[in-house]
Structure 1
Amino acid sequence: RSRFRPRLLAPLAAGTATAGFLAYRLATRPVTAEIRGHTLGYAVDLPYAPLVLAGYLLATVGALLLARDRLLRLLGLVTGAGAALCALLWRTEFLSTWCALAAVASLLLLRWIRRRP
């Protein structure tokens, strides 16, 4: 079960670089919060924000899409589609769409856990 999986090196590298960069920025820069419609918006000064977001998505969604397990790949598809939908709905500042996506993803993970021996 602990076999080396070379196809996961790209998500691993992206996650490591993204986590390191975000940890550094959080440790050295202030985090701001403001009310945006019916949600709270948090921000930290991030240069190269699209690149950081791409690294985050490659690490999280990419690893799921590369899984051998069919249900984990489905979770990757749902999470990727949800991330795109959240990005579109985020501009409405009406509700926390990411929390709704997390609830759906949690149900998929629960199903995955229950079917494993």
Structure 2
Amino acid sequence: MCWSAQADALAGGLVAGAGVACLVRARRSGRPQRLPLAALPLVLGVHQLIEALVWLGADDGLADGPAGAARTAWAAIALPLLPVLVPTAVWCAATEPGDPAGPARRRVLAALVLLGAAVAIPLTAAVAGHPVTATPHGHTLDYAIGLPHPALLLTGYLLATVGSLLISGDRLLRRLGLLTGAGALACALLWRFAFVSTWCALAALVSLLLLRWAGRPRVARSMP
């Protein structure tokens, strides 16, 4: 999420480009277990490109039909997709030969995959059953959708996504989890005051870390 259609389009293109590079580096590394997580920057980049269309719709620069489809697509990625994709991708990476995540951590990661799937079910129902609205809020967009028990869902969402990165056992992925958790808090505070949306900057940082991780010749071990 950036502060205008132009900013979202530019940042989305750059992040998507980094995502393609991540996938290429992961494939060349000969470790297919890295591919799902290496795809995350591409998903984030496409997400921002979709939001550029949402901005156009909010500014009356796009017809209602395409604008509504863009809002729904944005919500589908942000809500049900990411809490399933992130822990699943981290679990896949943890199955790589030589990965420092032992059997106990892999069991916890599998549990977080199930948690992410459980969170995604009501989120999918909400996206499918309610219209998604997006209203300009200062230099940000205020999305609204009918979510049941939002505090509970948010807790499960963060546990599944940030938690899986923190528990991965890989030093770079743990650093990514810390960055994502701190960045989400900072972005939420800045959004609350309608100053400027910084999610696009966070997506760029995530992409750079994953670009480094995807092409790394061997796993960087962390302390148990």
Normalising by structure 2, we get a TM-score of: 0.49
- Moved >4 Å (runs of 4+): none
Select which of 185, 196, 217 maps to 1:84.
185
Alignment of 1:31-110 (within 5 A): 31-110=132-211
Q: CA deviation at 1:10?
A: 3.4
Structure 2 residue runs of 5 or longer lacking an equivalent are: 1-94, 97-101, 219-224
The answer on 1:116 being equivalent to 2:217 is: yes
Aligned partner of residue 115 in structure 1, secondary structure: coil
More strand as a share of residues: 1
Aligned partner of residue 35 in structure 1, secondary structure: strand
Q: CA deviation at 1:17?
A: 1.1
- Following the alignment from structure 2 to structure 1, what is the Cα–Cα distance between the partners of residues 196 and 217? 34
- Following the alignment from structure 1 to structure 2, what is the Cα–Cα distance between the partners of residues 116 and 20? 37
Identity of aligned residues (%): 58
Q: CA deviation at 1:102?
A: 0.9
Q: CA deviation at 1:9?
A: 3.2
RMSD of aligned alpha carbons: 1.7
Aligned partner of residue 215 in structure 2, secondary structure: helix
Structure 1 residue runs of 5 or longer lacking an equivalent are: none
Which residue number corresponds to residue 17 of structure 1? 118
Q: CA deviation at 1:36?
A: 0.6
Asked if structure 1 preserves the Cα contact closer than 8 Å seen for 2:122 and 2:148, the reply is no
Q: 1:116 to 1:20 in 2, by over 3 A?
A: farther
> What amino acid is aligned across from residue 20 of structure 1 in structure 2?
I
Q: Which has the larger radius of gyration?
A: 2
Asked which structure has the greater RCO (Cα within 8 Å, sep 6+), the reply is 2
- Following the alignment from structure 1 to structure 2, what is the Cα–Cα distance between the partners of residues 100 and 85? 11
- Following the alignment from structure 1 to structure 2, what is the Cα–Cα distance between the partners of residues 86 and 11? 24
> What amino acid is aligned across from residue 89 of structure 1 in structure 2?
L
